[in-house]
Amino acid sequence: MYPLLKPYLFSLDPEQAHERTMAVLRWASRTPGVKRLLANVYCVREKSLETELWGIRFPNPVGLAAGFDKNAEVYHVLAALGFGFVEVGTITPLAQPGNERPRLFRLIEDEAVINRMGFNNLGAQVAGENLRSYQQAGVPIGINIGKNKLTPNEQAANDYQACLDTLYPYGHFFVVNISSPNTPNLRDLQQTDRLRLLLRQVKAKAEQLEQAGARRKPILVKVAPDMSDEQMRDVVQVALEERVNGIVATNTTLSREGLKDAAAARQAGGLSGRPLAARSTAWIREIRQELRGRLPIIGVGGIFDGDDAYAKIRAGANLVQVYTGMIYRGPGIARAINKRLLQLLARDGFSSVAQAVGIDAE
């Protein structure tokens, strides 16, 4: 049905379209039988697609990236659309409205989106209440956490720790977001000394919660695609030294190189979608080579089909995520990607996704 609905949704302001989509998903979450019906249509269940990381089983490698379900309201329904995992957030300790509207822009010619949302969310307390039944989603749930806009970088660790305090009982893994371009100075936290201190404090809080009886949860860090090679090597080294459990590569970009929609390109914010695909895949390959397989990578950026996803897997991504691709391709994107991945794995003689990870980075 999406080809019929897409013209209507694209006639709306992008954020209004998202809000109406969320309203439909909330209805689906409350209506008996809908999730089962969706799962029967969209879920692809094949042993070769399964991946295990950190002792967590992912039924397939295609996840939904943070930014869609900001307050962890509809992750159960999103799981029924065939995603192998769902990342909610970004969640901050306190509720905040985000930046002024308009703050979300489609670049239809480029199959891209520019956003400057600014971590708009209802805060960790509300998200925690929504996440109490996270295990019933049937797939792993990640929680993306950030700092409030008014919190200075010198106190940023307090915000990430506060999120862990509230949300640590929920979700299967956590992603420390230090790479959004839409919170002032947030990317400065990627600088080596600041990143080391932040990750050390985040890990210390996680260990404190574990000592108090909480189950251990993997901690990942999400990085920007706008780093220099030297910055990337520094980030990887810090992640290894501070015993982070994985890297999400990459967030949105500030680059506007090669865009056809010149008017929209002048909008401030992070760019996602097709124009980011090659850049993020290249970063995944470089990060994989630097890591030498010592940490898993979640690859995100410009994935629209199975070939895009497979390129990131071969570059070094253990798992992949989509978001902008779903805006343009619709709710069947995870099913379509997984079906194509099965074909590509069989073509190349692989019996599992894990066998293809990093082949092109060797």
The boundaries of the domain holding residue 83 are 2-361
- Give the span between the Cα atoms of 67 and 87, in whole angstroms: 8
How many other CB atoms are there within 10 angstroms of residue 36's CB atom? 10
| Residues recognised as catalytic | 180
Nearest alpha-carbon partner for 86 in 191, 175, 167, 219: 175
Q: What is the CATH number of the domain that holds 67?
A: 3.20.20.70
**Coil, helix or strand at residue 299:** strand
**pLDDT for the residue 77:** 97
The distance from CA 268 to its chain's CA centroid, rounded to whole angstroms, is 21
Instruction: Quote the tokens at residue 198.
Output: 């932040």
If one counts the domains in the chain, the total is 1
**pLDDT for the residue 263:** 85
> Can you list the residues of the chain whose pLDDT is less than 50?
none
- Give the span between the Cα atoms of 161 and 147, in whole angstroms: 10
Nearest alpha-carbon partner for 202 in 179, 175, 231, 184: 175
Length in residues, the chain: 362
**pLDDT for the residue 337:** 98
**pLDDT for the residue 138:** 96
Triad 116, 122, 125: Cα angle to 5°: 140
**pLDDT for the residue 116:** 96
**pLDDT for the residue 190:** 86
- Give the span between the Cα atoms of 138 and 190, in whole angstroms: 33
Decide if 110 contacts 147 (C-beta within 8 A): no
How many other CB atoms are there within 10 angstroms of residue 194's CB atom? 17
Q: What is the pTM assigned to this prediction? A: 0.97
